[in-house]
Amino acid sequence: MAVGIGLGASAAGLLAMNAPDGLRDEGAIPPATAATTARASTVRPSPPVEVRGPGGWRAAVVPVAVARDGALALPEDDRNGGWWALGAPAGAAQGTTLLAGHVDTRAGPGTFAALHSLPLRARVEVIGANGRTYPYTVVARRTYTQASLPPDLFTRDNDHRLALITCAGAYNPASRSYDRNLVLYATPATQEYRSTTRRR
């Protein structure tokens, strides 16, 4: 399946009936301009394998690519989120780490439905394949139409940030898709990354 966050193209969408609405755009989006210098860090970046947030929210994350229609193809197992593998890994000095997941499924709420209730300043942790925890703070929330998702989300030379994406808005049964996407922007919370043992 694909979520509607394609590179300038609409997507097949999700297979359920309602997404929360009434969302307000809030906060200041981290700059997407090219970073003048790479952030100095001794921390090694790592592909994300899990994301965690307030209230016990957590989701496994697997690498994904772009489908033929230009949409980001989400994992076949809808319990997982997808990491755009051509983007930045967690803890990178530059670039956007883009994670996306379903808002709902045939069986009920999807893995990334929790994004609709995450407030500004919420702490989100991305677990890397190297066992490290990379903390981020949510600084902005935006909703975009399926066709107007900012292309700068798919960048690798801007100051490092995290983008969490899921569907929002009205559901169209004919196209089996929502008309909007919700994007939460987050910036690194601290340079004090720590090692962790991942629970399975």
pLDDT of residue 139: 96
Would you tell me how many other CB atoms lie within 10 Å of the CB of residue 151? 10
Residue in the structure block whose two tokens are 């600084």: 139
**The token pair that represents 19 in the structure block:** 């997404």
Q: How many CB atoms lie within 10 A of CB 136?
A: 26
Contact 171, 107 (CB under 8 A): no
Which residue bears the tokens 């090219």?
A: 34
What radius of gyration, in Å, describes the C-alpha atoms of the chain?
Answer: 16
Reported confidence tier of residue 177, pLDDT bands at 50, 70, 90: confident
Q: Where are the domains of the chain?
A: 2-16+43-185
- Token pair 């230009």 is at which residue? 70
Res 138 pLDDT > 50:
yes
Averaged over 13-34, what is the pLDDT? 61
With cut-offs at 50, 70 and 90, classify the pLDDT of residue 22: low
CATH entry, 2-16+43-185, from 2.40.260.10, 3.90.470.10, 2.30.110.10, 3.90.230.10:
2.40.260.10
Distances (CA, A) of 173 to 121, 177, 199: 35, 7, 38
For the entire predicted model, the pTM comes to 0.82
pLDDT of 162 over the 90 cut:
yes
CA distance 162 to 184: 8
Q: Average pLDDT in the 158-184 region?
A: 89
Angle at 192 between CA 191 and CA 195, to 5 degrees: 125
pLDDT band at residue 18 using 50, 70 and 90 as cut-offs: very low
Q: What is the pLDDT of residues 37-67, one digit of tens each?
A: 445 556 799 999 999 999 999 999 999 998 8
Q: What pLDDT score does 131 carry?
A: 96
Beta bridge partners of 62: 82
Which of 31-40, 102-111, 178-187 is the least confident region?
31-40
- pLDDT of 9 above 50: no
